[in-house]
Structure 1
Amino acid sequence: MSSHDEIISPPSTCRPARYLRPYVNQTAGPELRNVLGQTLKYMTRQLRQELLAEVSTDTNECNQAIDLWIARLNTIKSGLASFPMVIEGGEANTTTQSPATAPPADGTNQAQHASPSEETITACLERDGYQCILTGRKLSNGSDSKVVPIIPFVFANHPRCRDLAFWKMLEMFYGTEAIDTLFAGLLDRVNSLENLIALDDSIHARLNSGWLTLTPETATRDPIPVINNYRGGYWLNLGYPQGLRLSEHIQSIKGLNAGEVRTLYPRSRIAIECHKAMPNQPPTLPLPSYFALRVFVLTLKNLCAYQLPRHHALAPPGAFLTPGPITPSHYWNEYPTYSPTLDSTSADPILAASAILQALADAGALERSP
């Protein structure tokens, strides 16, 4: 007898129809249940309807539907974990997956773009005025660490990157066709000016860690969505971790007179514009949709990891608006996340509660609890 057979039995003819989601919840562990609860409302309408459909009376068919959803939830978990970087053994890596480095399946010898050319780096610095786009601090040429991608190269440096869990995850929120189009565009632009920005080292580290969010907006403060054809100048709305001390806010001299400094408080906005157009070329700004994609993924990641309050909710991806300036919060200080070994699956509610309380006590959360 399979694990599903212990949970599911074909509904009797006299019993009302049941829905798929409760069965998925029963089969999934605590972590995947949380992923489902936090992301379902942002999924495509087709997936939401599928999960709320009536359960088939055929046990095998029902088990297959459950297995498919468990696989989907694991894809979301893996996709979120891989962006923007995974920390392994104390070293930062952009992803743990390797299809991008494998040869093309068709045997062709298509070149991979590991990093932008020196010409592109120089063009980016010229466009951004040889200064960090947020702090306004001057940057020198000759180091590509000053010019960084909005979407990391590893996610689109080869056609086979389309098979990464990151992109499979996004299909569940935007649909396959939209993600195919988004990926194809990024594949051509991953090392171009449209995916590059100039940042000083401290800001680069904060952005890659998810500590800082940059939500693209129009001049009228309308968020620019991930799937869009928007062109032209725009603004970046800054989001910080909740509870950040004033002294930790970014200080900027961009656009100010000598000796002046501006504190970038939460919801401060930075204009994105071209300081110097290339000769005989139109100004090429970083695409706001790439910033919007970062905000969407990092916010989902925080929702799943720390179960943020309701006021941090996202706008559905299918709507015109993308997530607003949501600040990633370091909730692990108050509500620690637990490893699977600490999540009790015991049928005895007293034993389950005891395991959770012990985990809280070990993390020191009970001492800070009201």
Structure 2
Amino acid sequence: MDIIEVHAGEATYPVEIGENVLLSLPSRVASLTPAVTSVFYIVDKAVYDQYEGRIKEHVPNHQHVFWHVIPAGEAAKTFDVYQQCLGAALEAGLDRHSLIIACGGGATGDLAGFVSATYMRGIRFIQLPTTILAHDSAVGGKVAINHPLGKNMVGSFHQPSAVLYDLSFLRTLPIKEVRSGFAEVIKHALIADPAFLEELMKNLSTLEDIEPSFLAYCLKKGVQIKSEIVRQDERETGVRAYLNFGHTYGHAIEAAAGYGKWTHGEAIMVGVVYALYISKQVNHCDFNVSLFIDWIQRLGYTLSIPEELSFTKLYDRMAQDKKTIANEIRFVLLEETGVPHLKKVTKELLEEADRFIRQIGREE
């Protein structure tokens, strides 16, 4: 097992990564001060249906434990589900010393974290991520729900008390979810660790059957990269924006297509290629985009965007991105691998990059 300490503003908390980390949950809860008065689980339905017995086997030793099951995936991050969670918490009588436990993928953690951030103006929560994607979203305290006009537009910064990342949950992930989660691993390498990216491109030829020890290594690297950025910038006033590499165009695809139609990571990977193309045009970035595209296509990623998602629709979504200021769309770009920066991009160049992506998609 590996333990990474995350420092974010005034908060410090552990991220435990390994097999059967769930075993440490009772002791983690018992160590919190002030003492926890009640425990409220918010659990992804798919996870609950498959792992109910295992999860309940390691419930904290507490007389007041409540359960609330939510829809799986992005369907959870709505105002209706958020309100239902608040209602269930109120009915359970949660108080300021209660604890929320988020058990599921990234969407579950985002929702449960936002519930804990806003219930009684903020109570504690612990993340139990069950997907590869959640290695990114569970760390750093960004919690949110979606608005029909934009992804993660309603949210807060609220750090967890701990993240317990039990890798045994990953054994049953469908390949689509593996692909979605690994996009964030690749993104971390692109923005912060050229040697790690080279290692991935050399050693990873398929996502179908990743060696467990290599997967654990990759997830640990991703958490370390993100935790260092969060240490420098908890509330995204500076370098933390770099974690959004690939997300401006990717989020636009997710929102315009309808949340859940594309997995987060598959949309983000399209956004990564889009941002790499712009980086070449703006910064003359010395990066072999063609070689990178060949690699991710072998891993099963697609760059084929449905015709109904026109550039105009995607541009309108990008204009609503949180990095947009005074109607100027800003992108995270690379000067070189591991050296990101934030820069304004013209509509003309955005449309040119869009044509580049669509041409590749038509050739797949």
Query: Could you say which TM-score interval applies, normalised by the shorter chain?
Result: under 0.3
Structure with the higher strand share, 1 or 2: 2
Length-normalised TM-score, structure 2: 0.27
The answer to which structure has the higher helix fraction is 2
